[in-house]
Amino acid sequence: MGVDEYEEGNRGTVSTIDLPEPGLDVIMGERRQLTNLAYRLLGSLAEAEDVVQEAYARWFAMSRQRREAVVSPGAWLTTVAGRICLDVLGSARARRERYVGEWLPEPLPDRREWTSGGTPVDPADRVTLDESVNMAFMVVLESMTPAERVAFVLHDVFGYRFAEVAEIVGRSPAACRKLASSARHRLDAPRPVPAVAPAKHRGIVKQVKQAWEANDIGALIGLLDAEATMVADGGGKVRAALRPIEGAERIATFFTKFGGKSAGVTLLERTVNGQPGLVVSQDGVIVSVCAFEVADDRVTRIWAVRNPDKLRAWTTG
């Protein structure tokens, strides 16, 4: 969709009223909101950054007169970014079918730890870490159709009205309401996981770290749910399990083969997508970021991202 095709919408109506063009600081002030939206829609920080850049490129490609006519530049940029994300999601499905092994969302560190090539990231580029970016939530978003995901995230996470969502998705408000409802069913299936207090979550992850460092299979098995699942994402760039590992014993055995007492390996407690997680460092280089789902005092799911392309935000130098 070209910018010139977008003329009016509930949040970004193009008006013929001659208004002064918004200052650059006002326009660029929308960047963080756009990055937050695009990351939740795509699960990839790199792709989110590309979308935001493209949205701004389309804004500045318009004539000054057209920019001055936009009543709400933020709404205009959100609409354009949302439509670009919808297109990206459609093409991403085909690309992920060719992906080597399991595909996981790109993990994000705590904002205080966020760097890129050793340089602190501009606060405007940081994603707000809340329950809508925890790894379990992001993984479920991957099960939705592109239209479901866009409708659900815009309405349920960002609070847009369905009439506004319809302008982005290109369907009626009633259809967008159904899309969001269908997405919620995916989110609740097969079972909702009860929220665990952050302190308890952190404590269990700490115990996993200690048992992993000690190569204590028995302790690891005791911390894992009997039907726990571990998914690793290496993207064909590094060694990683190509299929999910199921069962406490199999996961514990896998842990003891990688990490723990291996030479040069260090396990670090870090915040991963807003929740306690672990980072694996090999000779000072971060090689894996692990997120955990905890329920009933046991780890039920582990997501280990090892694809180096997805660890840019964790680079320490």
pLDDT tens, residue by residue, 22-35: 678 888 889 999 99
Phi, psi of 202, deg, nearest 5: -65, -40
Residue 59: closest CA among 84, 87, 92: 84
Distance CA 2, CA 80 (A): 9
Query: To which residue do tokens 């730890």 refer?
Result: 113
User: Pairing mode, if any, of strands 298-305 and 119-120?
Assistant: unpaired
pLDDT for position 28: 87
| CATH code given to domain 198-314 | 3.10.450.50
- 261, two tokens: 């007492």
- 83, two tokens: 């439509």
Distance CA 109, CA 126 (A): 10
Asked if pLDDT for residue 191 goes beyond 80, the answer is no
Burial 272-309 (b: 16+ CB within 10 A, else e): bbbbbbbbbbeeeebbbbbbbbbbeebbbbbbbbbbbe
pLDDT for position 22: 61
pLDDT for position 6: 38
Query: To which residue do tokens 């899309």 refer?
Result: 179
| Least confident stretch, 35-49, 125-139, 204-218, 226-240 | 125-139
Tell me what the mean pLDDT of segment 264-272 comes to.
92
pLDDT for position 256: 84
Could you tell me the pLDDT band of residue 267, with boundaries at 50, 70 and 90?
very high
Beta strands in 13-70 (DSSP E): none
Distance CA 33, CA 132 (A): 14
Dihedral sign for Cα 162, 168, 172, 178, please: negative
Other C-beta atoms closer than 10 Å to the C-beta of 188 total: 10
Tell me what the mean pLDDT of segment 281-304 comes to.
94
What is the H or E stretch that residue 265 is in?
A: strand 265-272
Burial 41-60 (b: 16+ CB within 10 A, else e): bbbbbebbbebbebbbebbe
- Nearest-5° Cα angle at 284, 230 to 222: 30
Residue 211, Cα to own-chain centre: how many angstroms? 28
Distance CA 306, CA 1 (A): 34
Distance CA 73, CA 19 (A): 12
Asked if pLDDT for residue 317 goes beyond 50, the answer is no
Asked if pLDDT for residue 249 goes beyond 80, the answer is yes
Where are the domains positioned within the chain?
Answer: 3-188, 198-314
pLDDT tens, residue by residue, 142-174: 999 999 999 999 999 999 999 999 999 999 999
Q: Which CATH number fits domain 3-188: 1.20.140.160, 3.40.50.300, 1.10.3720.10, 1.10.10.10?
A: 1.20.140.160
pLDDT for position 79: 95
